[in-house]
Amino acid sequence: MTSQQILSELKAMGSDSIKRIFLNHGAKEPLFGVKVQDLKKIQKKVKKNYELALELYNTGNSDAQYLAGLIADEKKMTKKDLETWAENARWYMQSEYTVPWIASESAHGYELALEWIDSPKEHLQIAGWSTLSSLASIKQDENLDLGTYKSLLHRVEKDIHKAPNRIRYVMNGFVISVGCFITLLTAEALKAGKAIGTVKVEMGGTSCKVPNAVQYIQKATAKGTLGKKKKMARC
C-alpha cells in the first residue's frame, strides 16, 4: 500500500464522534478520527515498513502519524528520524506514545531521552520522560543506568509540582514505570510517590484521572507483576 492509499482508507474509517473526543483531548487538525483498533487492521496488512512510516508521519495527519509508529522499523530509525518525529509531534498521542515507543525500541532512545528532558520545548520534555518510562518497561535492569534513574526520581520529586501541565502527567508516569518495572528501585519510587502526593493535571475537561503513583505500584505488587518487562513498547 502507498501512503496515499492508506490516507484514503483512514478517511473512510474516520468517525466524527471519535474526532471530537481526540480534539477534546488536545488533538490538532488534520485528523479523521480513526479508532486505534482500526489502525491496527492496516498495521497487520503493512507490517513493518520504514519508508512508509516516514511518509505517513510526514503527512502531519494525526491518525497517519499514530499508524506510522505502529509500522515503524525501529532498527532502521536514525537519530535524525527520531528527532524530526519528536519535533513535529503536535499533541500528546505522538509526544507521549508514538515517538517514545519507537525511540525506546531503537538504538538511540536513552541518549535522546536525556537530551529531550532538558529541552526548553515542552513537547520534547514530554517525549523525553515518556521515552525513559518506556525504556524501563522493556530493557532488562542490567541494561539500564540505575544510578541515573534514581537521580531522576529525585528530580521528579523536586520539580513535578512546578512543571507545566502535561509534563506533570508524564513525570508521574515515570515514577510509576520505575516502580513497576525496575524492582531495585521500587522502594525509591514509592518513597518519591509518597513525597509527591496528589498530582493535578488539567485533562481538557474530560473525565480522565491522573493515576496515584503509590497506589499503582502497590497494585502491581499485589498482582505479582513487579519487574515483568514488556516485549515491546508500542501497543
d(Cα 75, Cα 231) in Å, to the nearest integer? 15
Indicate whether 204 pLDDT > 80.
Answer: no
Burial 190-228 (b: 16+ CB within 10 A, else e): bbbbeebeebebebeeeeeeebbbbebbeebeeeeeeee
Domain ranges, ordered by start, for the chain: 1-73, 79-235
Burial 75-86 (b: 16+ CB within 10 A, else e): eebeeebbbebb
Averaged pLDDT, 41-46: 97
Indicate whether 83 pLDDT > 80.
Answer: yes
Q: pTM for the complete prediction?
A: 0.97
Mean pLDDT of the chain: 97
Question: Mind listing the pLDDT tens digit for each residue in 172-188?
Answer: 999 999 999 999 999 99
Averaged pLDDT, 66-78: 98
Question: Mind listing the pLDDT tens digit for each residue in 121-157?
Answer: 999 999 999 999 999 999 999 999 999 999 999 999 9
Indicate whether 205 pLDDT > 90.
Answer: no
